[in-house]
Amino acid sequence: MTPQEVIKTQLDRARMAAQHGGMSDLPPESAPRLLSVEERRALGHAKRAALSRSAHAEWQAALNRDDPVDLLRAGEAGRLPSLLPLRYGRMAVDPFAFFRGAAAVMAADLGATPNTGLRTQLCGDAHLANFGAMCGLSGEALFDVNDFDETLPGPFEWDIKRLAASLVVAGRVQNLSDKACRALARRATHAYRREINDLAGVPPFEAWNARVRLEDAVEEIGDRDVRKRERHRLQMVLQASQDGYRHLIAGNTTLRLPERPPAIFRLGQHEAVAHAAFASYAAHAPAEMRALLDCYRLRDVAFKAVGVGSVGTFCAIGLFATADGDTLLLQLKQALRSVLAPYAGESAYAHAGQRVVVGQRMLQAEPDVFLGFTDYADRQFYVRRLKDPRVAVIGAEIEASALPYTARLCGRTLARAHSRAGDAALISGYLGDGDSFDEAVAQFALTYADQTQRDHARLVQAIADGEIEAAKERS
């Protein structure tokens, strides 16, 4: 069947479904899913005529490329001015720290390149540190995407390129050779392609419920020493998750969040906003969630400034407790416009918190049961259960020897997420069984890492020149 015949069949089946299946509001991008897997693979394969797989290797900064510092400054809108120096101070530490905070810079660069037109729900900021370990509802350790602040539908390859580039930048910070860094990017892309090919051939319900179990992944590590260290990290994840965040709760009779600057500190004038926003979240929660929330009362709030890219947004921890002292920690986080929106199109959701919540529910294997959104005082928020920072540290402290294993795990996890929100068969058809795409993205990652190092140097110089104020971390 030729691509033209496939498209005609696609449209005919969409019309038939609309007439006989009550699906007259079927969005155009959903129509291909009415076709067989092989027909959809053929549609994906046909996309190579417009953009070859090898073309993804190309990267060259445009002559009119925006100054990265200007793009970062443009992203200050809506953030708390008092925290911006902390953000820039963290970004200046090294090129990988800069990369983590510069999603807007890479979004502009990717938006200026040709794309496949094969869209899925993107993580939007799919760098190495935005994947990690978590404890599932069943108690087993899972590996998944854990940040969705920039989530938005867009070309599937944008997430892969950001992941691959982050591996090269992180590898260089750890003094790996360019050959080793390129291998990391290629490994992640290869794992993505293999997993998306596999998921394209299984029933949709089975693909939707796929999990990346850390215990299974650890046992696949070939290096005995690395496998032993990762087993230890796995046990740390499970132990931390069972501990119930007790390290974040001070006092015996009076429940209170401790101050641990620069990560956790008092809200001051913003405390009333946090209380009101949490109350609005609870009041507008679905009935089944409200039945659970009604068992708890908000006892304390504190500000939370962690990570790099999120610093400056309004982010608070709420300590909830029952009359018997059982505790629950929820995170209230300000949601802004996705950095992808100028290049991928605006969100279908006017509320930025709803955009984040919908994206997380699409992409994450086991979304948080407390996930919700609200707004107060001209700010839009989403709410989720607080991620245990110790688990985040466990996921972030990746030794150079474990990077190949982590690269493969991230690539596989990203494919699982994309298969839930997009059409794995279309993407699979484009990628194929060969390694052309793997090699191209690995080359792109090396070249883009060079650009990131130049952009990082630009920020450091701007700080030295007094163009940008940066604050050092308080111990």
pLDDT given at position 307: 78
User: 256: which strand partners?
Assistant: 250
Lowest mean pLDDT among 26-40, 88-102, 242-256, 360-374: 242-256
Lowest mean pLDDT among 216-230, 279-293, 353-367, 412-426: 216-230
Residues 6+ apart with CB under 8 A from 335: 149, 351, 352, 353, 355, 356, 373, 380, 381, 382
Q: Which of 357, 340, 425, 358 is nearest to 155 (CA)?
A: 340
HSE at residue 408, side-chain half, CA atoms within 13 A, is 12
At 17, is the pLDDT very low, low, confident or very high (cuts 50, 70, 90)?
very low
Query: Dihedral of CA 16/18/21/27: which sign?
Result: positive
Tell me if 191 sits within 8 A of 408, measured CB to CB: yes
Q: Is the pLDDT of residue 5 over 70?
A: no
**Residues 176-187: pLDDT tens digits?**
999 999 999 999
d(CA 327, CA 255): 9
Average pLDDT of the chain to the nearest whole number: 87
Task: Decide: pTM greater than 0.85.
Answer: yes
**Residues 164-211: pLDDT tens digits?**
999 999 999 999 999 999 999 999 999 999 999 999 999 999 999 999
Q: Is the pLDDT of residue 56 over 50?
A: yes
Q: What percent of the chain has pLDDT over 70?
A: 86
User: 260: which strand partners?
Assistant: 264
DSSP for 309-366, please give it: TTBTB-EEEEEEE-TT--EEEEEEEE----TTHHHH---S-SSHHHHHHHHHHHH-SS
Distance of CA 385 to the CA centre of its chain: 16
CA dist list (Å): 241 to 19, 133, 169, 186, 328? 50, 10, 30, 33, 13
Q: Scan for tokens 């796995």, then name that residue.
A: 234
DSSP for 58-69, please give it: -----TTPPPHH
pLDDT given at position 384: 94
Q: Is the pLDDT of residue 52 over 90?
A: yes
